[in-house]
Amino acid sequence: MELLKQRILKDAEVLPGEVLKVDMFLNHLLDVNLIREIGKEFFRIFSSSGITKILTAEASGIALAFAAAEFFNTPVLIAKKGTHKNIGSECYCSEVFSFTKSVSYTMQVSKKYIDSRDTILIIDDFLANGAALSGLINIVSLSHAKLAGAGIAVEKAFQNGGDKLRGEGLNLKSLAVIESMNEGKIIFRDDDDKE
């Protein structure tokens, strides 16, 4: 997605430890117009998939999932992190190790809100090693819902999570795929899904 790539080139910062900082438009200060365009692009890609719910992980996937859901006209289901008293005990859970924060956490979704009649689109802001996305896929699998695919804003391809999951058959579409960012220079992979 050209708009997103241009914004990354203009504003994103490459930090030590292969960190791409995009908090000035994507996950701390949100550029609402850009995020709406990202939601529209996910709709363009997955509109014929019969999506009934969009699944995302709190917290930084929520705005993207909401923006997409406005186009799909479906609910958003948020996988909660940690143990939430108010969420009820009947949950589908995944254990996820966050490389960003160096901690494991539990991702959970109430069994009441996803079942075999659902066709799920997973949406998230980032894909690197694929741990969070694998956790979401596991929840969909446990629920026996159909997984239509996953839409990711920014994929760090050099951390290999995306290609591994594509190899396992996931219909994965990332709007900006970063091949490398050595010495602060961001190189994108060519789109496989042009506008």
Residue 99 to residue 173: CA distance in whole angstroms: 22
66 touches a second copy by CB under 8 A: yes
8, 38, 51, 63: which one contacts a second copy (CB under 8 A)? 63
Note whether 116 binds a second copy by CB under 8 A: no
Torsion-angle region of 102 (φ positive above 0: left; ψ -120 to 50: alpha; else: beta): left
Backbone angles phi, psi at 90, to 5 degrees: -95, 85
According to the binding rule CB under 8 A, does residue 122 interact with a second copy? no
The answer to whether 143 contacts a second copy (rule: CB under 8 A) is no
Q: Does 101 bind a second copy (CB under 8 A)?
A: yes
3-state secondary structure of 182: helix
Residue from 131, 40, 29 nearest 79 by CA: 131
Q: Report if residue 69 touches a second copy, rule: CB under 8 A.
A: yes
At position 71, the amino acid (one-letter code) is F
DSSP at 84: -
* Contact stretch for a second copy (CB under 8 A) within 22-30, 115-123, 165-173, 176-184: 22-30
Which residues of the shown chain bind a second copy in the complex (CB under 8 A)? Answer: 15, 19, 21, 23-24, 27-33, 35-36, 53, 58-59, 62-63, 66-67, 69-70, 73-78, 80-81, 84-88, 100-101, 109-110, 112-113
